[in-house]
Chains A and B, each alone.
Chain A
Amino acid sequence: QKEVEQNSGPLSVPEGAIASLNCTYSDRGSQSFFWYRQYSGKSPELIMSIYSNGDKEDGRFTAQLNKASQYVSLLIRDSQPSDSATYLCAVRHNTDKLIFGTGTRLQVFP
């Protein structure tokens, strides 16, 4: 079992729709969770962090965390073609190491 698992996609959604990206993790002791966006040929860009169970909203982005289910998700409202990228889920391991998933590729079509 991978420590951080994501569906590789691609996830295709129409412009204006809600994109839902999911991530599961294996280390029950994990405390910090991050979402990074990575455009093709570019480096990861931090877009959200979440530390407590529940929802955290920032503009069109909402991160959701459920520690009991070891599940974290990212919702993107009103998706735009410019949101097309790979979204990396990252989990801070109990050794302080940040473990990344392989990413989900999102495609937003006009």
Chain B
Amino acid sequence: EAGVVQSPRYKIIEKKQPVAFWCNPISGHNTLYWYRQNLGQGPELLIRYENEEAVDDSQLPKDRFSAERLKGVDSTLKIQPAELGDSAVYLCASSPAGGYHEQYFGPGTRLTVT
């Protein structure tokens, strides 16, 4: 079974530039999560989708971050404009249904904002 796929794996941009990350969850997983992990910290949830619906986006900085999950499969997370403090690893995870199930992570995108 294929795991969670993310691209790109690495991204270096200058501050104020836009950036987008893409995620394809495990086949059949209805729930998709975007996390941000800073160095030396655990992942922190940005947004959770149940199918196409964003059911928890309370931690998403909505002034510059946006996300979408069209057709309830792939998802895109965007930052515009990026700031220096956005440098982190952005992780996508998926689970069969809801927060009650085990979550499986993709390889992540390491973002460096200069």
Contacts and interface: CB of A to CB of B under 8 A. Distances in A.
B91 A100 contact: no
Nearest to B99: A96
Interface of B: 33, 40-45, 48, 56, 89, 91, 98-100, 102-108
A17 interface: no
Contacts of A92: 99-100
Given A92-B100, A97-B56, A98-B99, A45 B45 contact: no
7 contacts: A34-B103, A36-B105, A43-B89, A43-B105, A44-B43, A100-B43, A103-B40
B106 A96 contact: no
Given A43-B107, A102-B40, A34 B102 contact: yes
Interface string A71-101: 0000000000000000010101001111011
A60 interface: no
Contact of A46 (B48, B100, B102, B108): B102
A42 B56 CA distance: 26
Given A97-B99, A102-B42, 5 more contacts: A4-B42, A8-B40, A42-B107, A44-B105, A102-B41
A49 interface: yes
Interface in A4-20: 4, 8
Nearest to A51: B100
B99 A103 contact: no
A92 B95 CA distance: 13
Nearest to B107: A43
Interface string A28-64: 0000101010000011111001000000000000000
A91 to B, nearest CB: 11
